Structure 1
């Protein structure tokens, strides 16, 4: 049986080398290909969250840690100082902790020669600097590389993301580790390229809506890859609620509002050839809107115009939607 210390050393020291991780995956895929275990050029992509083993600390927790270390260092030199120190703060409150730290610093500075000790002086300066910082600067973690990422609008995590590609036979073909705030879709091209380098003839990619951004659609088309990824509902359905939608009269080529009024003209907005999509804006007769019985929630009092805009989907988005 492999000694646990060997595995620990390998994980901590060797796996920090990104190239080594790629090399291990490539070797795994090469063996699988030789044994005919991979039959298709289809890969599945996704990202998984990894919590940092250190939690993001509150400012008062940072101060508590530093003041504790300072007291401990002083006790190793002069244990009798316990009786002279102010009473510790027991509240989970930043202002109360700041007040305690200031009192602690003042007490230490009143004792001749105490801060001259190198260890005590260093801890004392660190606490003084932290107290002087603003609240945002105090917010930190023992894990300086981790970042806050968001699973949904309401939930977040502190740590990293592991972006993975695997074959339909469930063999990992590529892996990229990033900080927690990185977007899943931005890593698609790298995952495909690493999978190809590992020996997978990628022709189909399956992923969720995060991978259907425009640059990925263009990349897939340029490289003759079928990207099976739904478009974001905001692109296919738009931001507008169903009850706020107007009807389109295909014969007249104009939109008709809930009260039956047809737009009097339309104009295309947005620059041609620029990354952002253009939109058609339909204009309604403002005088009729002012008198309309259904104007509440539709026409804003005092507005000089009433318009209804529809985004024009890019060719890539239209193809992907179909």
Structure 2
């Protein structure tokens, strides 16, 4: 049996919870808000029900991971805090005197029980259904955006990672007792990874056995982080690779190495859909998936609010077909017309032709591209190449030896023309003001829940991190809206 009674075991100390975990405690509120029994149904195929030792209750294991996402703790520090923090024990369904799990159990649970699960969509749908049941989610608009997460590895060399964490540990120890500096193990001075690992192991041993400060809470976090890096991640650091991470661009001159999380969020700031991809993926290409996932989660989507990245032609056609207002500005190249040297080549409306800087008019025009397929069509204007060959202004305009000289002008499609008109409406302008909300949500994910850097290697690990983090922030938001 993996399912266990989710009420507290009878304990002479159970009354402590009513004293130290008040009704407005966030973890008590989450326990009352969420029926976690859905975890049993999702995980029943991952357990052997008629053989072997009794497993740790999967709800308890799931809650450990949720605590990790809410409080941004390492596995070691999460288990350590669970020993003495009664709000944690109450949330986990334990009696005050119960023993906590072994840290390795969390790793096994992630790898063996949660592998191959569509945890991301499941948890988002669960939190959205809670919001609907609570009467909180009333919006018919979703705001879309993408946030980036740096890969755990490859940002620094393996040796740099170890050096950085060892440095932080030493700095914390010196702040407690500067005189201990002379007793510290001699730093590694070579560029050999094995030597750096050996030095870190000596540093850990010294602090644990000789420093006298190893049990100070302020020392424990950097100490545990270095130990976890050396003991658990040596193989990963030795490889120093994340096979799924890719380079993405935040701007023309700013890039990152890692992943993107494409989000859809309601005006009440409840996340209704997420797609986690490698870093190079285009934001706009995820829009239709985000809309469909939001609908599957229970949203009635009537309006989508986003930036210019989401206003590509296919998205305009898709939202129009599904009777959804797309509040996303067109790229200025579309609204202003896409053509080179627009100040030099001028249009003669009487002749319906373009005139070059030297004053020569095009002799014919032709249309390129098929209507409603791929990119917009273009009008191509051809000039008399014999005149171009002799023109005084041919330098930089006519390529020597070319058999033709032409000038192209993109034609606005019907979709773009309608979107341009929609951009000028008061509805569009008012709805555009809601977009800032998702930027604040991205900041909350990164700075409040450690979503700026991946906690493991690979896309699967990133999806697990995203699932738990988004579930946590959605629950916190629901509790806030209930106040």
Query: Which TM-score band (shorter chain)?
Result: 0.5 to 0.7
**Would you say the 8 A contact 2:346–2:355 is kept in 1?**
yes
Q: Distance in 1 between matches of 2:245 and 2:390?
A: 58
Quick one: which of 237, 240, 244 aligns to 2:340?
A: 240
Q: Distance in 2 between matches of 1:273 and 1:212?
A: 15
Check if 1:265 corresponds to 2:355. no
Check if 1:52 corresponds to 2:148. no
Question: Shift in Å at residue 16 of structure 1?
Answer: 5.9
Does the C-alpha gap of structure 1 residues 282 and 145 become closer, same or farther in structure 2, counting only changes over 3 Å? closer
Query: Structure 2: any 5+ residue segments left out of the alignment?
Result: 1-20, 22-26, 28-59, 70-105, 161-187, 193-237, 422-483
Question: Shift in Å at residue 316 of structure 1?
Answer: 2.2
**Would you say the 8 A contact 1:209–1:232 is kept in 2?**
yes
**Would you say the 8 A contact 2:260–2:281 is kept in 1?**
yes
Question: Shift in Å at residue 205 of structure 1?
Answer: 0.4
Task: Give 2:139's aligned residue.
Answer: 40
**Would you say the 8 A contact 2:273–2:290 is kept in 1?**
yes
- RMSD of aligned residue pairs (Cα, Å): 3.5
Quick one: which of 326, 333, 348 aligns to 1:227?
A: 326
Q: What TM-score results when the alignment is normalised by the length of structure 1? A: 0.66
Task: Give 1:141's aligned residue.
Answer: 240
Q: Distance in 2 between matches of 1:47 and 1:25?
A: 16
Query: Structure 1: any 5+ residue segments left out of the alignment?
Result: 63-87, 92-96, 98-138
More strand by share: 1
Check if 1:27 corresponds to 2:117. no
More helix by share: 2
Check if 1:306 corresponds to 2:405. yes
Task: Give 1:217's aligned residue.
Answer: 316
Q: What TM-score results when the alignment is normalised by the length of structure 2? A: 0.45
Does the C-alpha gap of structure 1 residues 38 and 192 become closer, same or farther in structure 2, counting only changes over 3 Å? same
**Would you say the 8 A contact 1:42–1:167 is kept in 2?**
yes
Task: Give 1:179's aligned residue.
Answer: 278
Task: Give 2:472's aligned residue.
Answer: none
Does the C-alpha gap of structure 1 residues 243 and 180 become closer, same or farther in structure 2, counting only changes over 3 Å? same
Task: Give 2:294's aligned residue.
Answer: 195
Question: Shift in Å at residue 5 of structure 1?
Answer: 7.9
Does the C-alpha gap of structure 1 residues 192 and 16 become closer, same or farther in structure 2, counting only changes over 3 Å? farther
